[in-house]
Each structure stands twice: as structure tokens, then as C-alpha cells.
Amino acid sequence: MKILTDTFGRKFPYIRMSITDVCNYKCTYCLPEGYKKMPGDTRSFMTGEEISRLTNALSELGVCKIRLTGGEPTVRKDFFDILKNMKQNSNIPKITMTTNGYQLDKIAKRLHESGLDGINISIDSLNRETFKKLTGHDRLLQILEGIKILQGLNFKNIKVNAVLLKGINDTYEEFEKFGNFIKNNKIDFRFIELMQTGDNLDFFKKNHVSSKIFKDYLEKNKWVYQTYGKDAGPSLNYIHPEYKGKFGLIAPYSKDFCKTCNRLRITSRGDLRLCLFGNTGISLRHLLQNDSQKDELVDLIIKQLHLKKESHHLELGETGITPNLSSTGG
């Protein structure tokens, strides 16, 4: 089997595949004015057939995990058809998703029945009013109910993500609230350091806080670092003997963050992105039109890995061609 490997010896068993740019939230750090179509880009999102062909090609390149992202993936009317096809007709062992949880209480049972292997849910605050201010929607209680439903169905792999924001959720008091949330729940909770993108510079300058503040909290409270498998994401994970859940930290501004990179991205319009903050992307769309194009598609993906750089330069304010995280499946 061919394995996706770059010139620095890094292997890439993990793909983040966006299936739509559309999101129904107005998160302050991503789409404060709501979703707007990218000016000048008239291309449609990948069809279910194109996604199926791409998935089958990736399965021949050592990929063992695909995370469906957006935008918000569940706004696609054919979301469950896409998920079902990936589970039944590909050799990818793990199919997971990231969601804002907007419909989670309504679709939790169906997600479980579909065979989904894991879910990441965005919850930036456990305070109902704060959550509403951050997202534009008063849906926190419904999301928490959806998590309860999944747990009742014995759904194993539940993760919650929160973007670390200055003056909003960066205090020890807030960390304790999230700690109480996972104390008796087998949930992985991760803070993600706020990242600068092409259109959020002012917000970033005002609201960015170093992830070190959360790391210090974890170490002070005797959380112990834990290593993960080859297809895990970039999170630094911590366990505690008194907690059923786990804490995690994603710190893209930290030294050597890119050293263990193991993931590539596919945009909703079929572009391969070697880095979330890279300056280039190459379209795969023309090789997703017929099953007979698979070998050519595989070869193109392999060749692109030689162009992957050793590191992003996010710490220098270089955000590449990513205007916001919704456009690339952050």
C-alpha cells in the first residue's frame, strides 16, 4: 500500500474533509456576520459521488481516519447519505465529524445508527447567555441534551471543543466549570487557541490569549499528559485519576506544533490543502468525475506531498489563503 509521506518523513493517515462552507451560526471568531459565499468562487460543493470517489482513493493511501467538517456538515440535505456511503463502501476504519451541535438533540440517534465513529462538538461556554452571545443562537441546552442522548446510546467517542477567548472563558473559574462537566462524563474536552485568519485580525488582537494559561492550570491541578495514536489530532491530552473525562489543548502558536503534523485537508469544493494556513491549494475535482480516474487521482495527491512545508508561520501573522475557518474546515 502507498503511504502519504512528505519530504520531512511525516505520514498522513488523517484527512479533514469539508463538505460545505455553509454554517448556520454566527460565531464571533469565525463568521460574525453569518455565512457569505466567497466572492468570485462560482464552484459548487463536491457531490456525494465525488466524495465517494475521493474517499476510495484515500483508502489506498494509508488513510485510516476522515473527519467530516464544514461549515456545518449537517446543513447538507444529503449528509446522512454521504455518511452512510462512506461507512459502507470505503475501507476507511474511522469516520468522524465536527459539528456545532445545532440539531444534535434531534439527530443523535440517527448519528449513532449510521455507524459514526466519533463526534466533536463546539461549545465555547457552558453559560447559556455567553454561548448565545458567541454563536448567535440560544441552543446550549439542546446541545447538552443531544450529548446525553448519545451517552445513553453508549456512543463512545465524544469530544467537546472550545476556542480560548480572553475575558470570556480563560479564567480558572471557567476551567473549573468545564472540569465539573467532564468529572463524571467520559468526554474529551479541548481548548483551542484562537487563530488569526485572513479576516479576523482586529478580533484576534483583542481576544487572543496564550494557551499557556490553560496548560498552567492543568499542571497546577495535577493533570497528567497522555500520548495518543497515529491518527489522533494535534491535541495535547491530559488525564486525572478523579475524572472520567479528559482535558486537551490545541496550541498552534507553540514551538514545534507542526513537527507531528499528520493531517491534510480537502475543501468542500475539492481542493487539496497541505496546511490550514498554506498559500496554495490544488483542485482534485477534475479527477473525481469517473471511477477510472482513481490511479491518476492517487498519483496527484502523492506528488503534492513534496510541496508541503515544514511549518506554518502563524506566529508571524502569515495566515495563507484561509479567510476564515469555515472556508477550510478549520
19-37 b/e with 16+ CB inside 10 Å = b?
bbbbbbbebbbbbeeebee
For domain 14-327, the CATH superfamily is: Aldolase class I (3.20.20.70)
What are the C-alpha distances in Å from 18 to residues 82, 170, 194? 12, 29, 20
d(CA 30, CA 52): 29
270-304 b/e with 16+ CB inside 10 Å = b?
bbbbbbbbbeebeebbebbeeeebbeebbebbeeb
> Which residue is listed with cell 475539492?
270
User: 71: phi > 0 → left, psi -120 to 50 → alpha, else beta; which?
Assistant: left
C-alpha cell at 289: 468525475
Residues 6+ apart with CB under 8 A from 320: 198, 275, 276, 277, 278, 279, 312
| Continuous segment of H or E residues that includes residue 167 | none
Residue-level pLDDT at 106: 98
Let me know the angle formed at the C-alpha of 320 by 317 and 321, rounded to the nearest 5 degrees.
135
Cβ-based burial of 103 (10 A; exposed 0-12, middle 13-18, buried ≥19): buried
Residue-level pLDDT at 200: 81
Counting Cα atoms < 13 Å in the Cβ hemisphere of 113 gives 6
Residue-level pLDDT at 321: 61
Residue-level pLDDT at 90: 84
Tens of pLDDT, residue by residue over 146-202, are 999 999 999 989 999 999 999 999 999 999 999 999 999 999 999 999 988 877 888
Residue-level pLDDT at 40: 73
Residue-level pLDDT at 22: 94
CA 33 to centroid of chain Cα atoms = 21
Residue-level pLDDT at 172: 94
Strand pairing of 271-273 and 282-283?
antiparallel
Report, as ranges of residue numbers, the positions in the chain whose pLDDT lies below 50: none
Residue-level pLDDT at 327: 62
Cβ-based burial of 5 (10 A; exposed 0-12, middle 13-18, buried ≥19): middle
Residue-level pLDDT at 328: 66
Boundaries of every domain in the chain: 14-327
d(CA 77, CA 62): 30
Residue-level pLDDT at 330: 57
